[in-house]
């Protein structure tokens, strides 16, 4: 069983200027189910189907499988309006790889940074470009953002 242990933060866009990002991806992800969360994701070159359990603190079970791109495209159509679009850039900082998501569409202007940990109590040095931790704020779960009419900003 795969366990995802993740912390999530709002980001100050101005403080990102000049940083060295790598592995930029354009991502479309839709949700077929909320409980459990069943997500389909399409990146520039790959498709994925992911199943996630309910979150307990900052941990949850996660099962992710690569699927053919054509299948991901068809599954995204089944999601209708429940599709998020974002750009993901990665940065190495403080001994961790951080994934920084720049949202498009309804949530344009929202920037979230996520970092995966090996344990919930693993020490983490926060970079100066993160502002507020939102790991436990369910409004910032991608599966909730997709259906939210609320406008979020970093």
Active site residues: 31
By CB neighbour count within 10 A (0-12 exposed, 13-18 middle, 19+ buried), where does 140 fall? buried
82 in Cβ contact with 149 (< 8 Å): no
Q: Tell me the CA end-to-end span of the chain in Å, nearest whole number.
A: 33
Angstrom distance (rounded) from CA 71 to CA 30 = 13
Angstrom distance (rounded) from CA 65 to CA 52 = 12
| Residues in a beta bridge with 49 | 40, 65
């Amino acid at each position: 069983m795969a366990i995802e242990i993740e912390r999530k933060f709002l980001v100050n866009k101005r403080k990102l200027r000049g940083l060295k990002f790598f592995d930029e991806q354009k991502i479309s992800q839709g949700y077929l189910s909320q409980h459990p969360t069943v997500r389909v994701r399409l990146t520039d070159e790959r498709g994925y189907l992911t199943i996630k359990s309910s979150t307990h603190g900052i941990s949850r079970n996660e099962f992710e499988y690569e699927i053919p791109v054509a299948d991901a495209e068809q599954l995204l159509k089944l999601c209708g309006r429940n599709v998020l679009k974002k750009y993901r850039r990665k940065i190495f900082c403080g001994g961790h790889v951080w994934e920084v998501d720049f949202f498009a569409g309804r949530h344009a202007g929202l920037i979230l940074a996520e970092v995966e940990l090996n344990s919930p109590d693993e020490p983490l040095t926060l970079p100066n470009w993160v502002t507020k931790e939102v790991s436990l704020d369910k409004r910032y779960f991608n599966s909730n953002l997709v259906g939210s009419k609320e406008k979020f900003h970093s």
